[in-house]
Amino acid sequence: MILVTGAAGFIGYHVSKELLSQGETVVGIDNVNGYYDRGLKQARIERLIGHERFTFQKMDIAHPETVLPLATKWPEVTGIVHLAAQAGVRYSIENPFAYVESNVMGQVTMLELARRFERLAHFVYASSSSVYGANSKVPFGIADEVTAPQSLYAATKRADELIASTYAHLYALPCTGLRFFTVYGPWGRPDMAYYTFTRAITNGTPIRIFNHGEMWRDFTYIDDIVQGTIRALRRPARGDPPHALYNLGNCKPQKLTDFVAVLEQSIGRKAELIFEPMQPGDVPTTFADIEASRRDLGFEPLTPIEAGLPNFVNWYRDYHAAA
């Protein structure tokens, strides 16, 4: 049995679906908060609930009084994929308390739960490429310094890594953190650029492009992220302490204006672009060094944006036509 937090979220939904297809029994947890459209989160959960080996529990991971009893409710849990978090770089500037509660308190609560499961083999959790901050050396490598986060979101994700390493040391609890790089694809998050751009181009409204277009992102398709996450789950961290970190990215950064051009082609309409300065908390470039992920996990991203973006656009049209 695998426990997946953030099961109503973008990555959590896809990871849960793939685990089920591989024959696992999955318990999904999510508080279904209102950071973005609850209807989309509910639609994801409804697709999972139809599976006989999936159980959903609505719950806030930051509340230990409700989370810790799960150790006795589901003692057969052997793995945790902890993906629940308060996401979004820019929103962390507006609402810092939500990030500390969900991302820091939530991490501690889930680790406290993890060490209570007698059969648990591995605790896998979501970190983020944002921990690299404004590092000028590219590609970003796991051994690089990560001491200058540019947003509170990034700071909470780096804190999660340190907390997990501490629990691995104190309790010999195998933990692996995955630094995700700009994940996109069907059933994605409406606050992400690819989603807002698709909506704007479809509706004929302008797109804001920050840093005057000098933005590069290592856009990574959801299927590749799911593949890497489950490969990590199957390989418990070793060492002293048993804590590992990996980058999961496409290893091929795209200039944002080039990304928009592929999106225009997928939609069949031109975008109206408005170029603006860099926003607070943002960084100009992300670029994953995935050599360790290739070596240890057998991770290999297979989906270029020329294939991934049309998949997203097709899903977007179907979902919003039916909504």
Active site residues: 153
CA–CA dist 232, 142 (Å, integer): 15
Is the separation of the CB atoms in 303 and 248 below 8 Å?
no
147 to each of 131, 139, 210, 225, how far by Cα in Å?
Answer: 8, 17, 24, 25
Cα angle vertex 17, ends 12, 23, to 5°?
A: 125
Q: How far apart are CA 135 and CA 289, in angstroms?
A: 13
Which 8-state DSSP code applies to residue 277?
P
Count Cβ atoms within 10 A of the Cβ of residue 103 and give its class: 0-12 exposed, 13-18 middle, 19 or more buried: buried
Neighbours of 248 (CB within 10 A): 29
The structure tokens listed for 205 are 């409204």
Separation between Cα atoms, residue 80 and residue 246, nearest integer Å: 17
